């Protein structure tokens, strides 16, 4: 039985969407139980299918980590503490990104051996149904090559567990595809990934080629990853706005829209961030999923789905084991190299 703790209050759309998502999830999956933190009176509807913990305070969207840690009776902080104290499998929230992720890290601690946690998310690609796993997209302001190497390990496991890719093609985001290109950090990471024979390492990839569908996992430092992600978001919004203006031009163009409506719907489904399931911090000693702040029931459902998948596949244990293997490999290599 997978035990998921839910922060029901912190999203822009309140507890209603959370309640709906939980009801649907319970219908679709029978090996899951929910512990839901929030205003008791708003959670009446699910009291028979979930354990309710009354935690009425709401963390504001712009809350920082310290503020969250102080709000002990908030739905967010209670949810995180439940995971810590009762060993539940995962926590899901739609609240303040910075606040939730920092409070999770401080409360749940890092996986021993992991140098830095990475914010991991997914992106659609031109290749139908194929999703791209990206990390770090903003947990860090700068990273070392060794940290990027660890991100590759965690990203590979995420792609295997969540998308079922057997042998994910892993690339470094870079300013050129040639091996010798890159910042000092990516050059160091490239060296480590090559020397240690990282499985299916494809080398460097330019930002314009990551949507082609040949990349499963894209590794980068938190600063460039954030710039990449938000640049893509901004461009999609920009181009989308231009398409909308094209349709709104006059009565004829409005009529034209009727003809392409279905195609446009397929397009927005491809780009739908709500089906992605939010972001998570990989590298901490637990599973903490952050849905979009303005998630509806559908988006929250998918955030729960990602939590469920990662918990059933025990991703934290897998990361720990992989780190041990790596450590052994490095020690063996050093012994062999020195003898």
CB of 230 to its own copies, least distance (A): 4
The correct pick among 14, 56, 113, 256 for binding its own copies (CB under 8 A) is: 256
Q: Is 66 in the site for its own copies (CB under 8 A)?
A: no
Instruction: Give the CA radius of gyration of the chain.
Output: 21
Q: Which of 197, 262, 336, 339 binds its own copies (CB under 8 A)?
A: 262
Place of tokens 């890092």: 110
Least Å distance, CB 110 to its own copies, is 21
Among 28, 167, 233, 272, binds its own copies (CB under 8 A): 233
Which range, of 52-60, 76-84, 252-260, 299-307, touches its own copies by CB under 8 A? Answer: 252-260
Using an 8 Å Cβ cutoff, are 304 and 6 in contact? yes
Contact stretch for its own copies (CB under 8 A) within 134-142, 144-152, 193-201, 283-291: 134-142
Binding its own copies (rule: CB under 8 A), the pick from 44, 70, 260, 327 is: 260
Of 190-198, 253-261, 272-280, 301-309, the segment contacting its own copies by CB under 8 A is: 253-261
Residues linked to residue 91 through DSSP beta bridges, in sequence order: 5, 288
Q: Does 231 bind its own copies (CB under 8 A)?
A: yes
Of 27, 41, 129, 238, which one interacts with its own copies (CB under 8 A)? 238
Q: How many residues bind its own copies (CB under 8 A)?
A: 58
For residue 75, what are its two tokens?
Answer: 């739905």
Per CB under 8 A, the list member of 30, 141, 197, 336 interacting with its own copies is: 141
Sheet containing 50-54: give its strands across: 50-54, 32-38, 2-7, 90-93, 287-290, 279-282, 118-124, 131-135, 217-219, 170-174, 201-206
Interactions with its own copies, residue window 173-212 (CB under 8 A):
173, 175, 181-184, 206-211
Which one of 1, 85, 258, 339 is in contact with its own copies (CB under 8 A)?
258
Among 72, 199, 240, 329, binds its own copies (CB under 8 A): 240
For residue 238 the two structure tokens come to 């920009």
Site string for its own copies, 81-120 (x = CB under 8 A): ----------------------------------------
Identify which range of 14-22, 193-201, 250-258, 301-309 contacts its own copies by CB under 8 A.
250-258
Shortest distance (Å) from residue 186 CB to its own copies = 8
Residue 257 is a binding residue for its own copies (CB under 8 A): yes
264 vs 275 by CB, closer to its own copies: 264
Among 30, 87, 252, 337, binds its own copies (CB under 8 A): 252
> Distance (Å, rounded) from C-alpha 225 to C-alpha 279?
13
Among residues 28, 54, 70, 239, which is the contact residue for its own copies, using CB under 8 A? 239
List residues near its own copies by CB under 8 A: 126, 138, 141-142, 173, 175, 181-184, 206-211, 220, 222-224, 226-243, 245-249, 252-253, 255-260, 262-264, 266-267, 270-271
């Amino acid at each position: 039985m997978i035990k998921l703790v839910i922060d029901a209050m912190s999203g822009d759309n309140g507890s209603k969407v959370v309640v709906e998502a939980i009801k649907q999830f319970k219908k679709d999956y029978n090996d899951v139980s929910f512990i839901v933190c929030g205003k008791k009176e708003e959670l009446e509807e699910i009291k028979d299918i979930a354990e309710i913990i009354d935690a009425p305070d709401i963390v504001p969207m712009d809350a920082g980590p310290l503020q969250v840690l102080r709000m002990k009776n908030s739905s967010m902080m209670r949810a995180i503490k439940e995971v810590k104290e009762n060993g539940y499998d995962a926590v899901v929230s739609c609240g303040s990104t910075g606040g939730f992720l920092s409070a999770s890290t401080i409360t749940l601690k890092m996986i021993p051996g992991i140098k830095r946690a990475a914010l991991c998310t997914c992106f659609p690609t031109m290749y139908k149904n194929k999703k791209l796993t990206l990390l770090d997209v903003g947990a860090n302001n700068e990273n070392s090559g060794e940290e990027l190497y660890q991100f590759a390990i965690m990203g590979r496991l995420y792609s295997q567990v969540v998308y079922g890719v057997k042998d994910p093609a892993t690339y470094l985001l870079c300013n050129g595809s040639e091996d010798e290109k890159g910042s000092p950090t990516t050059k160091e990471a490239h060296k480590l990934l090559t020397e240690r024979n990282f499985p299916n390492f494809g080398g460097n990839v330019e930002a314009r080629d990551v949507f082609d569908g040949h990349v499963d996992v894209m590794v980068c430092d938190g600063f460039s990853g954030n710039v990449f992600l938000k640049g893509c978001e901004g461009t999609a919004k920009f181009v989308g706005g231009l398409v909308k203006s094209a349709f709104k031009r006059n009565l004829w163009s409005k009529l034209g829209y009727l003809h392409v409506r279905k195609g446009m719907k397929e397009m927005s489904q491809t780009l739908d961030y709500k089906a992605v399931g939010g972001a998570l911090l990989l590298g901490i000693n637990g599973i903490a999923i952050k849905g979009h702040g303005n998630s509806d029931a559908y988006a929250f459902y998918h955030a729960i789905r990602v939590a469920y998948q990662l918990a059933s596949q025990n991703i934290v244990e897998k990361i720990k084991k992989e780190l041990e293997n790596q450590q052994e490999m490095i020690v063996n290599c050093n012994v062999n190299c020195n003898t």
